[in-house]
Amino acid sequence: MSSDTAVVSADTKIVDKVAQHYNAQQESGLAERAKSRIFYLRNFNNWMKSMLISDYLKRIRSEQKDDAPINVLDLCCGKGGDLLKWKKGSINKLICADIADNSVKQCEVRYKEMLDRSRNERRHGSDLFTAEFITADCTKERLKNLYKEKDTKFDLVSCQFSFHYSFESIEQADMMLKNACECLKPGGYFIGTTPNCYELVKRLRAAPEMTFGNDVYQITFNTPDKENVPLFGGQYDFHLEGVVDCPEFLVYFPALKKMAEKYGMVLDLEKPFADYFDEKLNTNDGRGLIGRMQALECDIVNGTGSGVSLSNTALMKKTANIDIRFTADAKLRLHQRSSKSNLTDSDSDAQVLCIECHGFMPEIEPYPADEDVELMGKEESDYSAAQEAYKKTQTDDGSDNSRHKHLKVGTLSQAEWEATTVYIVFAFRKDKESTVIKTDDSKKAITGVKRPLSSDRHDDDDDQFNTKMCKT
Q: List residues forming the annotated binding site for mRNA.
A: 45-46
Write down the pLDDT at residue 118: 83
Within a domain: 147: yes
Write down the pLDDT at residue 241: 79
Stretch 41-47: mean pLDDT? 94
Per-residue pLDDT tens over the stretch 359-402: 222 333 445 565 555 666 767 677 777 677 666 666 544 555 54
- pTM attached to this predicted model: 0.76
Indicate the number of domains in the chain.
2
pLDDT of 274 strictly over 50: yes
Kindly state whether residues 119 and 261 are assigned to the same domain: yes
Kindly state whether residues 107 and 39 are assigned to the same domain: yes
- Quickly state the pLDDT bin for 214 (edges 50, 70, 90): very high
Considering only CA atoms, which of 387, 344, 381 is closest in space to residue 367? 387
Percent of the chain residues topping a pLDDT of 70: 60
What's the CATH code of the domain at 75? 3.40.50.150
The dihedral sign for the CA sequence 18, 24, 30, 33? negative
Kindly state whether residues 271 and 122 are assigned to the same domain: yes
Q: Which domain holds residue 303?
A: 297-411
Stretch 339-353: mean pLDDT? 27
Write down the pLDDT at residue 193: 98
pLDDT of 305 strictly over 50: no
Per-residue pLDDT tens over the stretch 400-428: 554 555 555 667 888 999 999 999 999 99
Is cis: bond before 368, omega within 30 of 0? yes
Q: Report yes or no: 235 and 458 within 8 Å, Cβ to Cβ.
A: no
Q: List residues forming the annotated binding site.
A: 45-46, 49, 76, 98, 137, 160, 165
Helix (H, G, I), strand (E, B) or coil at 22: helix
The identity of residue 397, as a single letter, is: D
- What's the rounded Cα separation, in Å, for the pair 270 and 170? 21
Within a domain: 308: yes
Kindly state whether residues 270 and 359 are assigned to the same domain: no
Stretch 298-318: mean pLDDT? 27
Write down the pLDDT at residue 454: 57
Per-residue pLDDT tens over the stretch 52-103: 999 999 999 999 877 899 999 999 999 999 999 999 999 999 999 999 999 9
Kindly state whether residues 258 and 351 are assigned to the same domain: no
Q: List residues forming the annotated binding site for S-adenosyl-L-methionine.
A: 49, 76, 98, 137, 160, 165
Write down the pLDDT at residue 325: 37
* N-term to C-term CA, the chain: 18
Kindly state whether residues 113 and 261 are assigned to the same domain: yes
Query: Phi-psi category of 294—alpha, beta or left, where left has phi over 0 and alpha has psi -120 to 50?
Result: left
Q: DSSP string spanning 277-323?
A: HHHHTTSHHHHHHHHHTT-SB---B-TTS-B----SSS-EE--EEE-
Q: Report yes or no: 223 and 248 within 8 Å, Cβ to Cβ.
A: no
